[in-house]
Chains A and B, each alone.
Chain A
């Protein structure tokens, strides 16, 4: 058998060799016939294509294509054969790109002959839509884009190929800018009403990639007229239900991106009555799995920032229930009856699940009723829990996003979250996860650690503190915030043991580092953590006895630094907590500098700071405690009574009340 097989291969190579040899014939007519024969031989024959590439047909074809002496027919046929070779496997494309086919074909576009230009564009299109081709190659030569724009008026074919190239090669905001600056909008808009469906469709795709997260493009688009009609209305027409689904979906994407970029208001009817319902429809069972994924993801993006759209979407066509179907792939039926179907289902199962999680996350991000509707959906919490530990990173991320969205509900935290022990897979997810997953997971953990959350206890017991402390050392500000935030929530009304563990694990050094964090929110949460740690008298004394010196230093530093009112208020609150301790009081009383600072803030222009500082003094002079007489005397000497007297006349009722209460300590 093997003998015959090798013979076959030789045979094939021999014929392929013959095709290549004919390209070198001295008679140009024979070369042309050779190229035409080659064209017929390679159509639909991947093996033949690979053979010809291996045998070096590509450089010769490119040479012939570039020679002006070749004649139009030959050059065109060469471009056609190259286009055919590009239709093969990804390896074919790689070989073609390695042979510098792109610059050669782009050069060919300068020809005056439309038929040759079209053949070159067709081949370029096939090369550029392949995922293995670096899109940057389109932008290397700055003259290419303007030339392509000018070719848009040549024929329907050039329009189709060029718009298809653009829509595949516009991957970054830089690409958007290049295309936009070369008047892509003005050139492509008229194609939306082309008689050719393919041209309309590719032009539409161009707009969707141009407008994505691009305010400049989106703002321009709303003012564009096509045949006297605003572009948004053209898109609305393309979303009509009798249009092909692909067109409806892409038009809905364009409007979604324009809306998210702020160019269209969320309450406009083209969004509420057209785009949103269209995207919900795409999620229905009637559509292909790819369309359902695309529809759900786009809808999630559309409604993400707007609670009103979330409410409307949640009541449209039973969307919440419809999404539950996304988790039923591969279905048990398909597994048995149809292998092809099973394969298809499996391929899309992950995509479907992550799309559904994303959309649930958007739907539930603001409204409590919607969250309830989601968690009431069949097996929802189980699905999230298993989603958190799926192999696909995309699904894990989407599942944790969904969980995060739902964790904003006090009711859900108390009920379904606890019932399903979601903290367990969440904790597991936090180990060695990539940053984006970690951000979502730790953020969710923050909510699970809120005092009313029944999950707080088991999480504490699972030894999460070390992990959270390590998050505070992350380079990502979001992770540092989440880490310290979680610790802050954890420390709220916590046992002394937990507090000691937090301080011990975090270390005062790290605490100081966080207090000088460039990110203000990190600083605020760290102060919050300190405040929570320094609550209830025994805890205050305990912590201050071991870390008092450092904490007082930190407080001094912050009060002396240029900081916002909020930060200083938090700091003075910490000081007030310290003043509430038994032994901790001395740390303030023996620090004249600190007392002067407190006095200064009692006369500050900000009532908030005055109030916090007065609180502090009030704690120091409180009657019922040991040594109160001495402290009262000392503070009187330092002139605090006069200040208090003055504050008791303050216009702010809280402040004057607080001052009066403090004054009463002296009278008693």
Chain B
């Protein structure tokens, strides 16, 4: 049972694969991905072949630009010719390796294998010039930006496989011959070197292996040593702990994380076990938790209402957030989950039951609200703070012709059939469910377990338990995983007496299949449109809002919104980011950190590793944050 901490920034964008890759290319991509997981190929592509553009004319390429042959006169060193790979070696490789097989040593076997920077003269063998490095087959010497070589290794000839390994952590290079390491050849290498080979006499042919084939040398074993070294360095990094200071920081990290997400009971248990304080008071945490649950349950209208009630002025100061919330509310109306349509559609307990202690200050809307059915565009009934403005019927919006009679925005034919039902639904609010009581039960179970770490592991199981309370055991435990610092609830908060089986997509209907609800939804849509226009006037055009609104309205264009191109919006997981944004806004309004320090630290570490790649610090390859998340 894992706590499932996963930071989104930690994953590096995958190399964009094309739809029609041959099997070989796919193998190559997979092998390169495995060898160099930290490389972002969108920023820094890996060498995959020799460059037909970056070579001397005496060089011929064949076999997908992997085979190099000499086609000059080969009289003397002035006839030397080189070719570079298509891309320089990215620093994020950490350890980079390629091999060259000598297919034929030709006349004299004057072959050089090595590295060179962009722009180094190609009418030369690698190693002879500045920023050029090579190991030559005829004498086994290494050439370090100089015309004179140093005795380095054995000579090499037809049939030998020579490997070149660049260590971007300590900026050294060593060669291998037939799978045996020959030891360091160069130190203090500059960045951005290209794999390079040079030939000088007729008949010389070499084949490169940039990962197309398994290597003769066990490079992964070498990498594993460096990975272990760097992990060891991190593990042993001196933190200069003054008595308990470090522990206090860690405890604060855990505690603030729990508080941030409103895991009130766990946070309290943790605080008690570690004898630390919680910065936010319990009521505040519980309030936020309540609001989050509402959003995650798709009851956005209630969430807005609760927010306005508990944090007056918050949404007014954040009109964009309000707009996004309203958009979501609209989507949830389509979904049939928002209480404004739910209470019309089915006999559902009103969510206000969940707030036994909170005074009913704001006017309730819903079935009992007679204004709802006036249906006019000037309806003043919207209690969620949408200033009712005249809304235009957008011609671009297509309404499903079959589903509703409310095809026109001006149409206001309220059907009264829902009155009785909704009234009765009001009367069923007789079974108050208290979040507090659940948490207390929970607390008791926690009390019995002395190990504080169990509490942390329980973060998500706590959610399950609380969810059960709402759903009377409908929960599928596996769906309640913590993702990205929020929780994925799927169906957790679906009311138990919901007779409509929403899990079965075939049975799902717009707004729960209720006409009054549909009308309410349409009306709400108009209000939303009006709000958008108002915001445009006040703050200027907002492309994101426009897109959001369009997407939301587009849902109505399909007979089965759940299985349409924009149907993704209806997925309950879409509520998570909104939930997290609202939570952050509330915390900010209380002068508390917008993001939990744990996530900040994680994000910082991730960004740091990415930055390391950009400033060419090769150890980033083995210091990846996800190596440390379990």
Which residues from chain A sit less than 8 Å from chain B, CB to CB? 240-242, 269, 272-274, 276-277, 312, 315-318, 322
Contacts and interface: CB of A to CB of B under 8 A. Distances in A.
B353 to A, nearest CB: 52
Given A273-B218, A315-B154, A240 B180 contact: no
Given A273-B218, A315-B153, A315-B154, A241 B225 contact: yes
Given A315-B153, A315-B154, A277 B180 contact: yes
A427 to B, nearest CB: 35
A317 B181 contact: yes
Interface residues of B, number: 17
Given A242-B227, A242-B228, A317 B222 contact: no
10 closest Cβ pairs, A-B complex: A241-B225, A318-B183, A242-B228, A242-B224, A317-B183, A315-B154, A273-B179, A241-B221, A316-B180, A241-B224
Contacts of A273: 179-180, 218
Nearest to A321: B183
A232 B575 CA distance: 55
Contacts of A277: 180-181
Contacts of B177: 315
A476 B181 CA distance: 43
Nearest to B217: A273
Interface in B170-226: 174, 177, 179-184, 218, 221-222, 224-225
- B interface majority secondary structure: mixed
A316 B224 CA distance: 20
6 contacts: A242-B228, A276-B180, A315-B153, A315-B154, A316-B183, A317-B183
Nearest to B232: A242
B180 A312 contact: yes
Nearest to B227: A242
A566 B177 CA distance: 46
B181 to A, nearest CB: 5
Contacts of B174: 317
A262 B167 CA distance: 38
Contacts of A312: 180
A interface, over-half SS: helix
Given A315-B153, A315-B154, A241 B228 contact: yes
B619 to A, nearest CB: 15
Given A276-B180, A315-B153, A316-B180, 8 more contacts: A240-B224, A241-B224, A269-B179, A277-B181, A317-B181, A317-B183, A318-B182, A318-B184
Contacts of B182: 315-318
B180 A241 contact: no
B472 to A, nearest CB: 43
Interface in B126-168: 153-154
A107 B409 CA distance: 97
A559 to B, nearest CB: 53
Given A273-B218, A315-B153, A242 B183 contact: no
A241 B180 CA distance: 15
A426 B225 CA distance: 44
A316 B181 contact: yes
Nearest to A322: B183
Contacts of B153: 315
Contacts of B221: 240-241
B316 to A, nearest CB: 58
A276 B218 CA distance: 13
B215 to A, nearest CB: 11
Nearest to A376: B151
A322 B184 CA distance: 12
A504 to B, nearest CB: 52
A455 B241 CA distance: 67
B279 to A, nearest CB: 42
Interface in B86-127: none
A269 B227 CA distance: 24
A183 to B, nearest CB: 33
A242 B177 CA distance: 23
A269 B214 CA distance: 15
A276 B181 CA distance: 11
A315 B180 CA distance: 8
A401 to B, nearest CB: 25
A152 to B, nearest CB: 31
A125 B614 CA distance: 54
Contacts of B180: 272-273, 276-277, 312, 315-316
A310 to B, nearest CB: 13
Contacts of A242: 224-225, 227-228
Contacts of B225: 241-242
Nearest to A276: B180
A269 B178 CA distance: 11
A311 to B, nearest CB: 8
Nearest to B225: A241
B347 to A, nearest CB: 57
Most buried by B among A272, A273, A274, A322: A273
Contacts of A241: 221-222, 224-225, 228
Contacts of B181: 277, 316-317
Contacts of A269: 179
A257 to B, nearest CB: 22
A314 B154 CA distance: 10
Nearest to B179: A273
A236 to B, nearest CB: 10
